Amino acid sequence: MFRLSVRLAFLACALGLPASTAAAADDIDTARGEYLVTIGGCSDCHTPGYFFGKPDTSRFLGGSDVGFEIPGQGVFVGRNITPDKETGIGGWTREQIVTALQSGQRPDGRILAPIMPWHAFAQLTEEDVTSIAAFLQSLKPVTNQVPGPFKPGDKVSTFMFRILPPGETAASAPN
């Protein structure tokens, strides 16, 4: 799909066709990315309210309000993956988004949180991950700074799912 859209954009320029032809090719990539983000369940971990049964669609993919605690590693909250430059991935290039999806490496060199299923995304085609990146960049930016990550022993300021190894005791009910 990506190669097709690049070819269409090149052909549009070479033939002097309107930019709308190239834009149509990009629209195809964006639509494919939206489809993949939807079936991939990205909104589950990246949209506020999702885990409470009331996703805030006005802040779609703007970052979660629930974190995942992983023993010995800390608590990780689904980040804002909208193109907001301050609190999201608005400073990332399309290629940097693709790299994060395929290798788990952020532009600053850090590795994505262990709860992020980048290993599964690494199995997608180059066209698919590029389409996801195009879709993410097409979203309305949402300003939402999510808390964390929290190191083991840090006080957590958000709801969290606790992931426990077998044989551990579940948290007791609050008094």
Per DSSP (E only), the strands in 46-164 are 66-70, 74-77, 159-162
Q: How many angstroms separate the CA atoms of 114 and 8, rounded?
A: 38
23: left (phi over 0), alpha (psi -120 to 50) or beta: alpha
With a cut of 70, list the residues of the chain below it in pLDDT.
1-25, 173-175
Sheet holding 159-162, edge to edge: 74-77, 66-70, 159-162
Cα distance between residue 80 and residue 5, in whole Å: 27
In sequence order, what are the residues at sequence separation of 6 or more whose Cβ sits closer than 8 angstroms to the Cβ of residue 1? 28, 29, 32, 127, 128, 130, 131
Provide the token pair at 46.
């990246």
Question: What values do phi and psi take at 109, rounded to 5?
Answer: 95, -15
Residue 13: per-residue pLDDT: 47
For the chain, how long is the longest CA-to-CA vector?
A: 72
Dist. CA 163–CA 145, nearest whole Å: 24
Single-letter residue type at 148: G
pLDDT of residue 11: 39
